[in-house]
């Protein structure tokens, strides 16, 4: 299988910030530097230079050169780069490139909402659909959902929230990191020097039903999930009260396509887990401090849920979700929840300032250990979420400890910079096979989040430039010459695995909305379609834009939340 990868000159197909880094990669057998030309849309040569041979790139297996045209800073549209007789896809140089991506990446969450009709006037006529999982036939849930046999005696109303990904499952663990990242995208603007006080996230910036209610739209969107997470908590008086059910989903896997309101499967609550409970504690604690100015009653409900959940997790510290519990929904199991304990303690400390939470976080091995790692954080590795918040949200940590926490973010950013400088495609992810795994695009972005946070903390432009280069990879500077964000670039992902946005299978259905991120190259080939088609692929080639390949290209809330965070950061940079 040889995909058509188009011109051998790979650029960020969306473009470059005027004052930011501008890098491209050229696939060529040439061993000596090659001349390059940057041209205007009209074909005028704007500037020239020579490429740098980089030898064979491990992740792609390609012999490549890199081009650095950072010195050219004049805004323009439809520019191209020509090297070795090949001309790149067109791109812009503009300080407003990421404004629209900030909105589109956040808009994805409205498209994933469960329990509410999607309004075509808000999202576009092709995306209108009836509410799903409100117990209207053929749906059997989520308003009165029983537990799996033998799990519990109660039934819960767990309507709402976001569908996790291309399936109709709703998982507290993954909902947690996605909610955290949306809330953190907002919280960042309270302190970050470039964030303009959060104007880009204000009320009226998104097409959500709640716009115009005086609350920043990103908080309206995150609240849709928070209300669901709160509903997943086991009620007082029941066994394991205060814990959160791990997940709710169909008894059996359904086929594609399937709109939510057409899903006939019984829905079931799966056993409470310590990890889910700590995800609830952490995000509810964020909720308590961030919604207080807008809705004191909701904030206080969150505060109570956070405290109760944390206490329940402490009383039940080893209730792990079963790794085999993967029929009808994903397992999201995690045999080490020490990182979730750290994250939850941090969020509760940041919200309450109380000594026991400080004592717990200080005693955690994650408070001093390396929580960042080369491959980034994700749903099963959440200590970095706590560390990043401790470094940025004002708090009463002793000064020396706070300085150490902040220095740890810069140290991780330094190491991500070293990694990306070693990659001919400029991404902050090592080039070995093991670094190309399920959903890895989000880990690449999460490494960019660390770089961006280091920039917010220090003002050192090298960190911001590293975050920009991560986006170059996602938006087209890669071996496949594809933008992994639907609608953002000349050639973009559009057939991601989804039961809802299944245009490939039914032309009456839409493709994923603009701003939907695909999971990315996965060298483990964990779905049958990829395993058959892509056998033997070099890591960066292990991706296919086909709806059947759920392990390389699915959409997911935790991946789009990473995209929203970094798009918002980059939108804030302006001309940089």
Which CB, 98 or 332, lies closer to ligand 9MR? Answer: 332
Q: How far is the CB of 295 from ligand 9MR (least distance, A)?
A: 30
Using CB under 6 A, which of the segments 17-25, 163-171, 253-261, 292-300 binds ligand 9MR? 163-171
Tell me if 242 sits within 8 A of 277, measured CB to CB.
Answer: yes
Using CB under 6 A, which of the segments 123-131, 197-205, 325-333, 567-575 binds ligand 9MR? 325-333
The single residue among 169, 175, 376, 386 that binds ligand 9MR, judged by CB under 6 A, is 169
The phi and psi torsions of 145 (rounded to 5 degrees) equal -95, 130
What DSSP designation does 266 have? P
Using CB under 6 A, which of the segments 22-30, 64-72, 165-173, 230-238 binds ligand 9MR? 165-173
Residue 167 within binding range of ligand 9MR, rule CB under 6 A: yes
Which CB, 167 or 314, lies closer to ligand 9MR? Answer: 167
Binding mask 38-67 for ligand 9MR (x = CB under 6 A): ------------------------------
The single residue among 330, 386, 431, 515 that binds ligand 9MR, judged by CB under 6 A, is 330
Which CB, 172 or 556, lies closer to ligand 9MR? Answer: 556
Is 526 an annotated catalytic residue?
no
Residue 115 within binding range of ligand 9MR, rule CB under 6 A: no
* Length reported for the chain: 576
Is 238 an annotated catalytic residue?
no
3-state helix, strand, coil in the chain (%, to 5): 40, 15, 50
Count the neighbouring beta carbons within 10 Å of the beta carbon of residue 462. 14
CA distance 29 to 65: 9
Which CB, 175 or 330, lies closer to ligand 9MR? Answer: 330
Using CB under 6 A, which of the segments 233-241, 486-494, 502-510, 549-557 binds ligand 9MR? 549-557
Annotated catalytic residue within 164, 314, 554, 572: 554
The single residue among 109, 110, 425, 438 that binds ligand 9MR, judged by CB under 6 A, is 438
CA distance 535 to 497: 20
Helix (H, G, I), strand (E, B) or coil at 296: helix
Which CB, 425 or 550, lies closer to ligand 9MR? Answer: 550
Tell me if 35 sits within 8 A of 50, measured CB to CB.
Answer: yes
Whether a cis peptide bond, with omega within 30° of 0, leads into 257 is yes
Annotated catalytic residue within 57, 92, 217, 545: 545
Considering only residues 290 to 319 of the shown chain, the ones binding ligand 9MR according to CB under 6 A are none
Binding mask 140-159 for ligand 9MR (x = CB under 6 A): --------------------
Binding mask 500-539 for ligand 9MR (x = CB under 6 A): ----------------------------------------
Which CB, 38 or 248, lies closer to ligand 9MR? Answer: 248
Considering only residues 556 to 575 of the shown chain, the ones binding ligand 9MR according to CB under 6 A are 556
Closest by CA to 336, choosing from 366, 376, 356, is 366
CA distance 365 to 247: 28
Helix (H, G, I), strand (E, B) or coil at 273: strand
Q: What is the dihedral of CA 397, 398, 404, 410, to 10 degrees?
A: 50
The single residue among 340, 360, 465, 554 that binds ligand 9MR, judged by CB under 6 A, is 554
Residues 6+ away with beta carbon under 8 Å from 150: none
CA distance 280 to 288: 12
Closest by CA to 331, choosing from 385, 270, 381, is 270
Tokens of 274: 């310590």
The single residue among 165, 177, 303, 457 that binds ligand 9MR, judged by CB under 6 A, is 165
Count the neighbouring beta carbons within 10 Å of the beta carbon of residue 235. 10
Binding mask 332-361 for ligand 9MR (x = CB under 6 A): x-----------------------------
Whether a cis peptide bond, with omega within 30° of 0, leads into 138 is yes
The kind and range of the H/E element at 91 are: strand 91-93
Q: Long-range contacts: 233-239, Cβ < 8 Å, 24+?
A: 233/280, 233/305, 233/308, 233/309, 234/152, 234/154, 234/272, 234/312, 235/154, 235/156, 238/152, 238/153, 238/154, 239/152
Buried-state track 472-503, b at ≥16 Cβ within 10 A, e below 16: bbbbbbbbbbbbbbbbbbbbbbbbbbbbbbbb
Considering only residues 219 to 278 of the shown chain, the ones binding ligand 9MR according to CB under 6 A are none
Using CB under 6 A, which of the segments 147-155, 330-338, 385-393, 561-569 binds ligand 9MR? 330-338
The kind and range of the H/E element at 417 are: helix 399-421
Q: How far is the CB of 559 from ligand 9MR (least distance, A)?
A: 8
The single residue among 126, 131, 315, 331 that binds ligand 9MR, judged by CB under 6 A, is 331
Residues 6+ away with beta carbon under 8 Å from 154: 147, 234, 235, 238
Binding residues with ligand 9MR: total (CB under 6 A): 12
Nearest residue relative to ligand 9MR (C-beta): 330
Q: How far is the CB of 375 from ligand 9MR (least distance, A)?
A: 12
Using CB under 6 A, which of the segments 161-169, 353-361, 369-377, 458-466 binds ligand 9MR? 161-169
Residue 439 within binding range of ligand 9MR, rule CB under 6 A: yes
Helix (H, G, I), strand (E, B) or coil at 276: helix
Catalytic residue ranges:
545, 554
Footprint of ligand 9MR on this chain (CB under 6 A)? 164-165, 167, 169, 330-332, 438-439, 550, 554, 556
């Amino acid at each position: 299988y040889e995909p058509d990868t188009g011109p051998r000159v790979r650029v960020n197909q969306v473009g470059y910030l005027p004052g930011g880094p501008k890098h491209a990669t050229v696939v060529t057998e040439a061993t000596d530097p090659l001349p390059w030309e940057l041209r205007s849309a009209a074909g005028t040569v704007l500037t020239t230079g020579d490429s740098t041979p980089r030898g064979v790139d491990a992740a792609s297996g390609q012999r490549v050169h890199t081009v650095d045209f950072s010195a050219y800073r004049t805004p323009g549209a439809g520019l191209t780069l020509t090297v070795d007789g090949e001309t790149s896809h067109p791109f812009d140089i503009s300080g407003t490139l990421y404004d629209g991506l900030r909105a589109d990446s956040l808009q994805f969450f409205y498209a994933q909402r469960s329990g509410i009709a999607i309004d075509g006037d808000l999202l576009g006529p092709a995306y209108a659909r009836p509410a799903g999982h409100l117990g209207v036939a053929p749906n059997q849930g989520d308003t009165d959902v029983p537990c799996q046999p033998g799990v519990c005696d109660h039934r819960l109303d767990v309507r709402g929230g976001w569908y996790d990904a291309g399936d109709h499952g709703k998982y507290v663990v993954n909902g947690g990191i996605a909610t955290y990242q949306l809330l953190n995208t907002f919280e960042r603007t309270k302190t970050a020097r470039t964030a303009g006080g959060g104007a880009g996230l204000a009320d009226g910036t998104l097409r959500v039903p709640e716009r115009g209610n005086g609350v920043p739209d990103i908080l309206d969107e995150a609240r849709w999930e928070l209300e669901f997470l709160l509903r997943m908590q086991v009620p007082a008086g029941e066994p394991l009260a205060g814990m959160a059910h791990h997940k709710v989903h169909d008894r059996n896997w359904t086929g594609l396509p399937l709109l939510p309101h057409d899903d006939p499967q019984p829905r079931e609550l799966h056993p409470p887990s310590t990890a889910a409970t700590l995800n609830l504690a952490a995000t509810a604690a964020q909720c308590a401090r961030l919604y207080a100015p807008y809705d004191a009653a909701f904030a206080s409900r969150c505060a109570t849920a956070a405290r109760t959940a944390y206490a329940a997790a402490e009383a039940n510290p080893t209730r792990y979700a079963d790794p085999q519990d993967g029929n009808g929904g994903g397992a999201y199991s995690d045999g080490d929840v020490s990182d979730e304990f750290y994250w939850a303690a941090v969020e509760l400390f940041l919200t309450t300032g109380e000594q026991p939470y400080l004592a717990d976080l200080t005693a955690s091995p994650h408070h001093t250990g390396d929580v960042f790692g080369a491959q980034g954080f994700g749903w099963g590795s959440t200590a970095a979420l706590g560390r990043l918040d401790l470094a940025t949200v004002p708090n009463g940590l002793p000064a020396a400890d706070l300085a150490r926490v902040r220095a740890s973010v810069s140290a991780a950013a330094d190491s991500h910079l070293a990694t990306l400088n070693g990659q001919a495609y400029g991404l902050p992810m090592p080039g070995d096979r093991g670094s190309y795994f399920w959903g890895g695009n989000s880990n690449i972005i999460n490494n960019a989040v660390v770089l961006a946070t280091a920039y917010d903390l220090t003002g050192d432009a090298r960190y911001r430039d590293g975050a920009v280069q991560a986006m170059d990879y996602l938006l087209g500077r890669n071996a496949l010459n594809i933008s992994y964000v639907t609608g953002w670039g000349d050639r973009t992902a559009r057939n991601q695995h989804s039961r809802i946005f299944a245009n490939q299978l039914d032309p009456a259905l839409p493709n994923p909305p603009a701003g939907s991120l695909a999971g990315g190259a996965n060298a483990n080939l964990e779905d049958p379609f990829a395993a058959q088609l892509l056998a033997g692929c070099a890591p960066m080639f292990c991706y296919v834009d086909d709806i059947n390949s759920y392990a390389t290209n699915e959409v997911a809330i935790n991946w789009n939340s990473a995209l929203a965070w970094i798009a918002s950061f980059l939108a804030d940079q302006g001309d940089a």
